Amino acid sequence: MAKGLPTRSENYSEWYNELVKRADLAENSDVRGCMIIKPYGFSIWEKMQRALDDMFKETGHSNAYFPLFIPKSYLSKEASHVEGFAKECAVITHYRLKNDENGNGVVVDPEAKLEEELIVRPTSETAIWSTYKRWIQSYRDLPILLNQWANVVRWEMRTRIFLRTSEFLWQEGHTAHATKEEAIEETSKILDIYAKFSEEWMGVPVVKGSKTANERFAGAEDTLCIEALMQDGKALQAGTSHFLGQNFAKAFDVKFQSKEGTLEYVWGTSWGVSTRLMGALIMAHSDDQGLVLPPKLAPIHVVVVPIYKGEEQLEQIRGIITPLLTELKAAGITVKFDDDDNSRPGWKFAEYEMKGVPVRVSVGMRDLEKGQIEIARRDNLTKEQKPLEGAGQYIIDLLDKIQDSIYKKALDFRARNTNEVNTWDEFTAQIEKGGFVSAHWNGSSETEDKIKELTKATIRCIPLDAKEEKGSCILTGEPSNKRVLFAKAY
């Protein structure tokens, strides 16, 4: 009989891997570094997509689709972009296989070598800007606000399911603007959408900030990000929004004629969140019993488990519970009545806890006699008896309460695990303990590198709301005027 998970305190990463499998979210594929997202896991991703997509549409963006393959030469047009991605690109060199003459299956046909090799997109800036060159001539063509939902490939050396896979799913927004100000505004507008989504839908509090030069996107002038804190005290970059300046416009020669008649380079942004969010969701809330899902992203909100002996009792329960199911469904709540006779209630309880179903209702003959049902919350594992009368509204309200309470719990966790330090000794000790460490820094990449080398911690971001404060750099003692957020990161 399948029993519990490894606990988080025992072995956090084993707990995570096991949970992903046992909750039916995903599994590793036969291709190294790639994952098979299973139906239950994918339906969570679909809910994420839907919510984000709606927000993008509300802010004037449209979806489009660009090809998986990018001519190799495109990548090299923007210097720092190539440098950032060249080391992790899958390359298409041939377009045909043939039967091996020695009968060993199929082999690459050497006759079918491509004139120009193609790369599998690690991101689409180059494909998109080479297109924008054709689409943009005048200020009237601007802005262009596009998004695409796609898969990308980055040939990672070490992979973790959802957190870092060689192929992952994401959305990438690519916008083009006439002015610098407008592009910068777009960058922060998107960051706000990401933060709102993370907090209100995923129940994961995030810090909005900007990246240091070291952590910036290859080809960006400025990278904004949302950073979340996982239960093991490590930080996770959950989304990024880049101000590209005119870098890609210059690389791809994208100019427009302004109202005044001058010819100017276009300003750009790009932004994305990926299936990594699934990892954030899992690690932010789940416990040793399994997954804990915020109701807004749960594929099943409520599961009803009948407890019965024989067909007759089952039908009796079904009859009495049906109005409740109907009421909940009418309120847009996804309910599953689990009348599978092959597994027993105890097994079902454990199984739905593993899968993170927010609310479980169980009903047996004892309850029917008293006109009540048992309602159990996944997030805090409490259960209570409630009269069947009025249970529908109670559950509807409960789901909101759970959504809220999951967020508050994560917020509280982050507050307890965010610490200000002022000396190097405090710093190293606190980094060792985990969590966000807020400290002064002299602003140089060399110092950041040195700190990383010594402690494995990186600057997750310079928080947007960082207040002016005189201090001295944690490593060098040089003056600094604001604190930045350090952590060990995924």
Partner RNA sequence: CGGGGUGUAGCGUAGCCCGGUCAUCGCGUCUGCUUUGGGAGCAGAAGGUCGCAAGUUCGAAUCUUGCCACCCCGACCA
Q: Which residues contact RNA (rule: CB under 7 A)?
A: 1-4, 13, 28, 32, 84, 87-88, 154, 156-159, 163-166, 168, 215, 217, 237, 240, 274-276, 289, 307-310, 341, 343-347, 349-351, 353-354, 362-368, 374, 376, 381, 383
Nearest approach, Cβ of residue 259 and RNA (Å): 37
Q: Which is nearer to RNA, 348 or 440 (CB)?
A: 348
Q: Is the dihedral of CA 349, 354, 357, 358 positive or negative?
A: positive
Q: Which is nearer to RNA, 266 or 361 (CB)?
A: 361
Burial class from Cβ neighbours inside 10 Å (0-12, 13-18, 19+) for residue 65 reads: exposed
User: How many residues in total does the chain contain?
Assistant: 490
Nearest approach, Cβ of residue 407 and RNA (Å): 22
Q: Which is nearer to RNA, 157 or 263 (CB)?
A: 157
Strand partners, 463: 209
Q: Which is nearer to RNA, 237 or 430 (CB)?
A: 237
C-beta separation of 69 from 88 below 8 A: no
Nearest approach, Cβ of residue 314 and RNA (Å): 8
As a whole number of angstroms, the distance between CA 248 and CA 197 comes to 28
Q: Which is nearer to RNA, 3 or 134 (CB)?
A: 3
Which DSSP letter does residue 11 get? -
Greatest C-alpha distance within the chain: 83
Strand partners, 153: 167
DSSP 394-451: HHHHHHHHHHHHHHHHHHHHHHHTEEE--SHHHHHHHHHH-SEEEEE--S-HHHHHHH
Nearest Cα to Cα of residue 240 among 199, 206, 202, 265:
206
Nearest approach, Cβ of residue 367 and RNA (Å): 4
Q: Which is nearer to RNA, 276 or 296 (CB)?
A: 276
**Antiparallel, parallel or unpaired: β 302-307 and 335-337:** parallel
Q: Could you give the residue ranges of the DSSP H alpha helices within 124-238?
A: 125-135, 180-196
Nearest approach, Cβ of residue 141 and RNA (Å): 29
Q: Which is nearer to RNA, 274 or 480 (CB)?
A: 274
Helix 39-58 vs helix 180-196: crossing angle, to nearest 10: 140
**DSSP strands (E only) in 26-112:** 26-28, 35-37, 62-63, 69-71, 91-94, 97-99, 106-108
Q: Which is nearer to RNA, 383 or 482 (CB)?
A: 383
Nearest approach, Cβ of residue 209 and RNA (Å): 13
What value, to the nearest 5°, has the Cα angle with vertex 184 and ends 236 and 445? 50
Q: Which is nearer to RNA, 160 or 255 (CB)?
A: 160
Q: Which is nearer to RNA, 179 or 313 (CB)?
A: 313
Nearest approach, Cβ of residue 382 and RNA (Å): 9
As a whole number of angstroms, the distance between CA 88 and CA 58 comes to 35
Residue 456 backbone phi and psi in degrees, to 5: 70, 5
As a whole number of angstroms, the distance between CA 352 and CA 347 comes to 9
Which residue do the tokens 């009348």 mark?
A: 339
Nearest approach, Cβ of residue 241 and RNA (Å): 11
Nearest approach, Cβ of residue 278 and RNA (Å): 9
Q: How many CB atoms lie within 10 A of CB 385?
A: 11
Nearest approach, Cβ of residue 83 and RNA (Å): 9
Nearest approach, Cβ of residue 430 and RNA (Å): 19
C-beta separation of 106 from 100 below 8 A: yes
Q: Which is nearer to RNA, 376 or 391 (CB)?
A: 376
Q: Which is nearer to RNA, 38 or 164 (CB)?
A: 164
Which residue do the tokens 């600057």 mark?
A: 459
Q: Which is nearer to RNA, 71 or 364 (CB)?
A: 364
**Antiparallel, parallel or unpaired: β 436-440 and 418-420:** parallel
C-beta separation of 281 from 293 below 8 A: yes
Nearest approach, Cβ of residue 201 and RNA (Å): 18
Nearest approach, Cβ of residue 161 and RNA (Å): 9
Give the distance from CA 448 to its chain's centroid: 26
